[in-house]
Amino acid sequence: MIERFTGLLRSYLVQNGEFALKRISDIDISDALSIEDFGIYIHIPFCKNYCPYCPYNKIMYEKILVEPFLKSIKKEIEIYGKYLKGKNIKSIYIGGGTPTNIIEHIGEILEEVKKWFNIDGSICIETNPSDINEENVKKLKEYGIDIISCGVQSFQDKFLKFIGRNYDSKILPEKIKLLIHSGFKSINIDLMFALPEQNTNDIINDLDKAIELGIKQITTYPLFTFPYSKVGKFLKLKNVKMPNIFKRRIMYRTIHSYLLKNGFKRVSVWGFIKGNEPRYSSVTRDFYIGFGPGAGSSLKNAYYLNTFSFNHYVDILKEGKFPVSLKMELTDDMRRYYWFYWRLYDTIIKEDDFNRLFKDDNRVKKIIEISHILGFYKMEDGNIVLNERGSFYLHLLQNYFLLNYINKVWSKAMEEPFPEKIIL
């Protein structure tokens, strides 16, 4: 039922061109030459503990793998850099895996980026509470990292145990205080909701703890398990199901109203900020280059995906080639709809921008009209602003639309280093 609906929605919007990723062995780098500003994503795949809900491309940390990874990712940065030397980089996001598993080497990677590109924005890194200590915080500061996202997930041991986190909730206050008092521009913590046996009092207790500790940026999201495919099998989640829609609805409304009541404002479907500190976000860049196994690059006319295979990634870069595996051609319509989706994700669209891009697009105008009838947004100062209801249903659509596509791609990419074709 859901797949049929998302298929109809896709067909309604994208009426020209096949919606698929195809095998590719090189990048048309000319597609990037006219882009003035990029984001950079650096994927560090190492984990010392596999969280059972996490679908991202990762491998178990082994010291022997670190050196070939470093040589490879620095080579990949160099290959892009020779073509795009001096381009402005508006943000760098370091994710994984758990990037701080190789914290002593992150500076090397960033130095390679700085050698080729002009860094003109914030550097953000994901981390795990287990990796936060005075020595590591000092290193992050020395590397120029100014935004931290810490995957707390819960302040309660029963939920940490369920999702496979390898730390005790007792350590969390001191870890968070250390981050807060270390002078970073912005600190975000992730909290999960709609976990099995979790109720609204549990999530309010987690929010209270975060607020009490002085956290001013919170990203909340439900359990994404991908149980309906081979990713579910890969993650060993045979007995776990996606949270019930009614449970998610109640909890999202509770989180939304509680944070707004406590002085936060919504800055994305998932994210809330108190005050004026820089916003943490792992998405919403229009153009970006991804480095690392399984990383993606979004250019003007195509989306590229690196091979997920660590060994193949290393071998290709030894030959001095782009480690790409798949490519999806982006039509003008698809690029505009990509922009539209991420502005909705931000929960605000400037009406002037919308009219400029979609003045002749009756399909999107019809979606906006229907959304207004359903009470998903209101007009504020010339902007289309999603309300709580609209944000929740966009989150639901994301679950069954975008995440379903991610599931298809990652399932195949984890099976095969170079799939011939993945039809979405």
The answer to whether residue 250 sits within a structural domain is yes
Same structural domain, 388 and 406: yes
Residue 135 structure tokens: 């020595």
Query: What band does 396 get if pLDDT is binned at 50, 70 and 90?
Result: confident
State the pLDDT at residue 225: 59
Same structural domain, 116 and 158: yes
Distance (Å, whole) CA 336 – CA 147: 29
- Residue length, the chain? 424
13 pLDDT above the threshold of 70 = no
Final residue before a domain boundary, out of 242, 273, 304:
273
On the 0-12 / 13-18 / 19+ scale of CB atoms within 10 A, 30 is exposed
Domain hosting 167: range is: 20-273
Region at 6 (left for phi over 0; alpha for psi -120 to 50; beta for the rest): alpha
Task: List all residues 6 or more positions away from 341 whose beta carbon is below 8 Å from its beta carbon.
Answer: 402
Residue 248 structure tokens: 């998610």
Residue 93 structure tokens: 């996001």
For 159-210, the pLDDT digits (tens) are: 998 888 888 999 999 999 999 999 999 999 999 998 888 999 999 999 999 9
Distance (Å, whole) CA 116 – CA 111: 9
Q: In angstroms, how far is CA 296 from the centroid of its own chain?
A: 11
Model pTM above 0.85: yes
For 284-341, the pLDDT digits (tens) are: 778 999 999 999 999 989 999 999 999 999 999 999 999 999 999 988 888 888 888 8
Query: Which residue has better confidence, 22 or 51?
Result: 22
Q: What is the mean pLDDT of residues 407-423?
A: 87
Same structural domain, 80 and 12: no
Percent of the chain with pLDDT over 70: 89
Same structural domain, 131 and 150: yes
Q: How many domains does the chain divide into? A: 2
Final residue before a domain boundary, out of 244, 273, 302:
273
Same structural domain, 124 and 140: yes
- b/e string for 269-284 if b means 16 or more Cβ within 10 A? bbbbbbeeebbbbbeb
Task: List all residues 6 or more positions away from 376 whose beta carbon is below 8 Å from its beta carbon.
Answer: 386, 387, 389, 390, 393, 394
Strand partners, 59: 46
Handedness of CA 77, 79, 84, 86 (dihedral sign): positive
Same structural domain, 7 and 29: no
The answer to whether residue 2 sits within a structural domain is yes
The answer to whether residue 294 sits within a structural domain is no
Same structural domain, 1 and 64: no
**Residue 125: which of 173, 74, 187, 167 has the closest Cα?**
187
Q: What is the mean pLDDT of residues 269-292?
A: 88
The answer to whether residue 113 sits within a structural domain is yes
Q: What is the mean pLDDT of residues 280-284?
A: 74
Distance (Å, whole) CA 27 – CA 323: 9
The amino acid at residue 220 is T
Same structural domain, 10 and 62: no
State the pLDDT at residue 210: 98
For 335-367, the pLDDT digits (tens) are: 888 888 888 889 999 999 999 999 889 888 998
| CATH classification at residue 258 | 3.20.20.70
Q: What is the mean pLDDT of residues 90-107?
A: 94
The answer to whether residue 310 sits within a structural domain is no
Same structural domain, 200 and 67: yes
